[in-house]
């Protein structure tokens, strides 16, 4: 429209463009998301448990908190937003050390990972009023681990009614907030006032 401010859609056609091809129309709408192909093809996943050079969980701590979507950094583990969240605020707690299996963690790593899970719950309740959580690990590709070479624990906040028409029928998650904004909210709500003599690190950088 002449004189109107650009809304970012100026390059789109005014009317739908029909794609030539074959197929039988049905009652479904299609939401094309080509950026998901990187996830489907496994881009950025290490080839093996021994290959830390291409592991995203090893690379993320080298980035700034904002660029890596890191919520909090500990001494032995860190907490990061999931790039493909089930719900807004879905975080992953990861050891810095490149290990694939939970039994490979030593005592201090196990303790700090558990502490970061508890702090994640506290931050999510404070920042978004989470009513419940799904917490767990997928050990191995056959168990559903997206990146099996570097273990990570999921903390997924839940609210009543979050499994509605869109994810159940539409297979689409509607996320009300950008990841960068969610990261800042959780980082600001991250509890750091735990006693220093409990042997668990809680330091973070922003």
Decide if 173 contacts 86 (C-beta within 8 A): yes
Largest Cα–Cα distance in the chain? Answer: 68
Tell which residue, 128, 147, 164, 150, has the closest CA to residue 83. 147
CA distance 138 to 153: 8
Decide if 135 contacts 155 (C-beta within 8 A): yes
Decide if 79 contacts 191 (C-beta within 8 A): no
CA distance 88 to 176: 7
Walk across the sheet containing 132-136 and list its strands. Answer: 70-73, 77-81, 91-95, 153-158, 132-136
User: How is residue 55 written in tokens?
Assistant: 């592991």
Selected catalytic residue, list 116, 150, 152, 154: 152
152 is catalytic: yes
- What residues are annotated to the active site? 152
């Amino acid at each position: 429209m002449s004189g109107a401010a650009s809304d970012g859609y100026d390059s789109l056609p005014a009317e739908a463009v029909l794609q030539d091809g074959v197929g039988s129309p049905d009652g479904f709408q299609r939401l094309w998301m080509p950026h998901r192909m990187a996830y489907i093809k496994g881009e950025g996943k290490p080839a093996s448990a021994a290959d830390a050079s291409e592991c995203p969980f090893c690379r993320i701590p080298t980035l700034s908190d904002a660029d890596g979507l890191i919520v909090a950094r500990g001494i032995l583990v860190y907490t990061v937003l999931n790039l493909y969240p089930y719900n807004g605020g879905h975080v992953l707690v990861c050891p810095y050390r490149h290990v694939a299996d939970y039994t490979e963690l030593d005592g201090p790593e196990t303790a700090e990972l558990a502490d970061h899970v508890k702090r994640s719950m506290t931050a999510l309740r404070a920042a978004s009023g989470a009513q419940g959580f799904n917490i767990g690990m997928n050990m191995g590709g056959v168990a559903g681990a997206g990146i099996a070479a570097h273990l990570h624990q999921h903390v997924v906040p839940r609210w009543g009614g979050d499994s509605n028409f869109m994810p159940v029928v539409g297979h689409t998650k509607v996320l009300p907030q950008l990841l960068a904004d969610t990261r800042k909210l959780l980082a600001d709500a991250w509890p750091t006032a735990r006693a220093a003599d409990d042997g668990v690190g809680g330091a973070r950088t922003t």
